[in-house]
Every structure is written in C-alpha cells, then in structure tokens.
C-alpha cells in the first residue's frame, strides 16, 4: 500500500540547515509527484515545494531562496534542505503524494521540527 515516512532531526539550531528525508513505498517517484507541506502548531498548512514525477521542481516563492528539494529514485526518497532556519520555521513537516488536480491523496505521519538554541 502507499506509504510516506519523513525522517530527520527534531531539533535544529537557529541559522542552521534542516535536512529531511521522505521515504516512499507503494508507488514510483517517476509516476507521481511529492510535495512538502509544513504546519505550525494550531495553524493552517503551508505548501513548501514539489518534486515533479519528471524530476522538475517547484518552490513556494516565500521560501525559494532557502529551500532545495531533490530525490533519489533508486532509493525511493525525496529530500528537503532548508537553510538559515529561524524560530518561526518550527512546526510539523509532512511529505505528501501530490496528484496535482486531484489533491494530495496520501500524507506521511509528519516530523516535528523545533528551531531553538
């Protein structure tokens, strides 16, 4: 069955770089796109960016200067790197299977990231 699982550090120092991995199963990264979405506690989600099935990427312009999304199809993994983290980057980070005009139909369990010294 379709599964996505995020992994990465739960605590990041201010100004440091966040590195997260999304490991997928039950579908191919060359057939489906994956988006990263984050959500501060008690607030609405924010779309961060998308790894298209063809390897192209799209980013939220608000984060573009700090964000990079890449993948390793042989390992069924999508990676997120975001630099210069600040306290307002604290929240839960999700990877999702993004079916574009059919919505995000599968979500990982999320990884809680706290930016604090």
Partner 1 sequence: DIQMTQSPASLSASLGETVTIECRASEDIYNGLAWYQQKPGKSPQLLIYNANSLHTGVPSRFSGSGSGTQYSLKINSLQSEDVASYFCQQYYNYPLTFGSGTKLEIK
Binding residues for partner 1, per CB under 8 A?
35, 43-47, 58-62, 94, 99-105, 107-110
CA distance 22 to 69: 11
Residues linked to residue 97 through DSSP beta bridges, in sequence order: 34, 106
Residue 14 or 40 having the CB closest to partner 1: 40
Choose between 16 and 92: whose C-beta lies nearer to partner 1.
92
CB of 24 to partner 1, least distance (A): 14
State the Cα torsion 31-77-39-104 to the nearest 10°: 10
- Longest C-alpha distance within the chain, in Å? 40
Least distance CB 68 / partner 1 (angstroms):
16
CB of 98 to partner 1, least distance (A): 9
Nearer to partner 1, 10 or 103 (CB): 103
Tokens found for residue 41: 């506690």
């Amino acid at each position: 069955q379709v599964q996505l699982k995020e992994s990465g550090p739960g605590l990041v120092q201010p100004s440091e770089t966040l590195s997260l991995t999304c490991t997928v199963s039950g579908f191919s990264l060359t057939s489906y796109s994956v988006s990263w979405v984050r959500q501060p506690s008690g607030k609405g989600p924010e779309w961060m960016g998308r790894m298209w099935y063809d390897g192209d990427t799209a980013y939220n312009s608000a984060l573009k200067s700090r964000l990079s999304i890449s993948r390793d199809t042989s390992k069924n993994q999508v990676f997120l790197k975001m630099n210069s983290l600040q306290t307002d980057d604290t929240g839960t980070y999700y990877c999702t299977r993004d079916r574009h005009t059919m919505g995000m139909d599968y979500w990982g369990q999320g990884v809680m990231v706290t930016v604090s010294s």
